Amino acid sequence: MLSALSNDVLEYIDNIIVILNQNGEAEYVNAAAKKILGFHPKELLGNAWWTKIRAGINNPYTLKKEFLQQLKLSEKTNNSFERKMTDSNGKTRYILWNVVKNEQNKFIGIGQDITKQKEMELKTIKQQREILDSIEYARNLQEAILPDLSVLNNVLYDYFIFYKPKDILSGDFYWAYRKENTLYVAAIDCTGHGVPGAMMSVLANSILREVIIKKGFDDLQTVFAELDKELIYALSKQSTRSVKNDGMDLGLLKLDFDTFKAEYIGANRPLLKISNTNQLQEYKGSPYPIGFFYGYDKKFIVHKFNFNVGDRFYLFSDGFPDQFGGEKNKKFSKRKFKELLLSLYDMKMEEQKSFLEYVLNNWKQEEEQTDDILVFGLQA
């Protein structure tokens, strides 16, 4: 049946060898079918090949028809594909087939049993799906802790939030709280991104609420001292692993709309203010984070200033300025970021957000996103 090989040789091959005529009937099946599928080769001759090895509830004749049509429509002389098959015990086997058409227009199939590999692959896919489902659920929880932005309505003229996590979960998050006509807004960049960053963000959000809302601290230096103390205490209760690098960069802006006085305090994060005459002022943060940081006696500086209707404020993480891209694959830079914000003067806040995203995508092109990205823009 195979001019190049004797039947004796075929009987010792570990892979299944089957020869089908143009009608799809099996004219020859070698001994490997017994080892792999549990059927004696003679049991699989003719249409029995389809009725006995069909997988699941597929109609055997439909299966044969589809198989033959697939081969006849193909312009290739070689066909390689996977098939689920049912062995004599009713269990599913996965066979990798290579099929060629010989000079007599018969189909010669060589089937390799890949059941173990396929089961491992399917197990891995299932585990990955479960992990992704868990991460998606965690993202829903993380989004649930983000503030209700209705607190910004009737106080601010306009605002936008450009929030783009590097992964499904983010170490960046934004925060807002309103007490009568005083508004607190913050942009927070926690250590790491993905799952570690998200866990830190949940902890950081809880501490912010505890210090500002529950305890009612409104002096920004006191707020930062309490945040620092609470975060270090929380991380100290962790296991014996080192947590000295864990913490968060934070910019916190306080706007009093009765007096039009503002205060800003930052931990490694600046505030950019663009006046209603398009003049930019940068208020720098102190050079250390909230959380573990050895070798310094932290003294967070509070900037106090007046503001006017139409002034715009920008709090942001380092994700946008640090994004790699451009012709030389360099960081976007804070200088370019400030120039970009100044160029947006005539745009509404939502238009600014869209343009920021356009510039970011145009800058990074095919480069991977470097870090979580957060830009919080507000107009008084």
Q: How would you class 277 by CB atoms within 10 Å of its CB: exposed for 0-12, middle for 13-18, buried for 19 or more? A: exposed
Q: Are 251 and 271 in contact (CB under 8 A)?
A: yes
Is the backbone of residue 154 left (phi > 0), alpha (psi -120 to 50) or beta? left
Residue 1 lies in a domain: no
- Whether residues 102 and 251 fall in one domain: no
pLDDT for 40-64, tens place per residue? 999 999 988 888 887 655 666 777 7
Residue 256 has pLDDT above 90, yes or no: yes
Residue 139 lies in a domain: no
- What's the mean per-residue pLDDT of the chain? 86
Residue 278 has pLDDT above 90, yes or no: yes
pLDDT of res. 58: 61
Dihedral, 215, 221, 227, 232 alpha carbons, nearest 10: -130
- Whether residues 49 and 155 fall in one domain: no
Q: Are 127 and 134 in contact (CB under 8 A)?
A: no
Mean pLDDT of 198-211: 86
pLDDT for 219-243, tens place per residue? 999 999 999 988 888 877 654 445 4
- Whether residues 191 and 113 fall in one domain: no
pLDDT band at 150 (very low <50, low <70, confident <90, very high): confident
What's the domain count of the chain? 2
pLDDT of res. 5: 52
pLDDT band at 7 (very low <50, low <70, confident <90, very high): low
Range with lowest mean pLDDT among 27-31, 103-107, 244-248: 244-248
- Whether residues 235 and 298 fall in one domain: yes
Non-local CB neighbours of 199 within 8 Å, separated by 6+ positions: none
Residue 173 has pLDDT above 70, yes or no: yes
- Whether residues 282 and 179 fall in one domain: yes
Q: How would you class 62 by CB atoms within 10 Å of its CB: exposed for 0-12, middle for 13-18, buried for 19 or more? A: exposed
pLDDT of res. 240: 46
Q: How would you class 329 by CB atoms within 10 Å of its CB: exposed for 0-12, middle for 13-18, buried for 19 or more? A: exposed
Range of the domain at 213: 145-379
State the Cα–Cα distance between residues 248 and 268, nearest whole angstrom: 9
Range with lowest mean pLDDT among 1-10, 92-101, 159-168: 1-10
Residue 138 lies in a domain: no
Residue 123 lies in a domain: no
State the Cα–Cα distance between residues 162 and 351, nearest whole angstrom: 11
Residue 286 has pLDDT above 90, yes or no: yes
Of 117, 137, 153, the residue that ends a domain is 117
CATH of the domain at 199: 3.60.40.10
- Whether residues 342 and 252 fall in one domain: yes
Max avg pLDDT among 14-18, 211-215, 320-324, 325-329: 320-324
State the Cα–Cα distance between residues 277 and 275, nearest whole angstrom: 5
Residue 69 lies in a domain: yes
CATH of the domain at 104: 3.30.450.20
- Whether residues 159 and 79 fall in one domain: no
pLDDT of res. 64: 76
- Whether residues 279 and 369 fall in one domain: yes
C-alpha separations of 118 from 70, 90, 123, 125 in Å: 23, 17, 8, 10
- Whether residues 218 and 110 fall in one domain: no
Residue 126 lies in a domain: no
Residue 132 lies in a domain: no
How many other C-beta atoms lie within 10 A of the C-beta of residue 218?
13
- Whether residues 188 and 322 fall in one domain: yes
Residue 193 has pLDDT above 80, yes or no: no
Specify which residues 185 forms β-bridges with. Answer: 176, 253
Of 78, 101, 117, the residue that ends a domain is 117
Of 99, 117, 135, the residue that ends a domain is 117
- Per DSSP, the residues of 282-328 read EEPPBSS-EE--TT----PPEEEEE--TT-EEEEE-STTTT-EETTT
Mean pLDDT of 2-7: 52
- Whether residues 111 and 149 fall in one domain: no
pLDDT of res. 195: 73
- Whether residues 342 and 267 fall in one domain: yes
In sign, the C-alpha dihedral spanning 220, 209, 373, 150 is negative
Question: Looking at residue 157, what DSSP letter applies?
Answer: S
pTM: 0.72
**Letter for the amino acid at 180?**
E
**Which has the higher per-residue pLDDT, 32 or 191?**
32
Residue 104 lies in a domain: yes
**Which has the higher per-residue pLDDT, 301 or 148?**
301
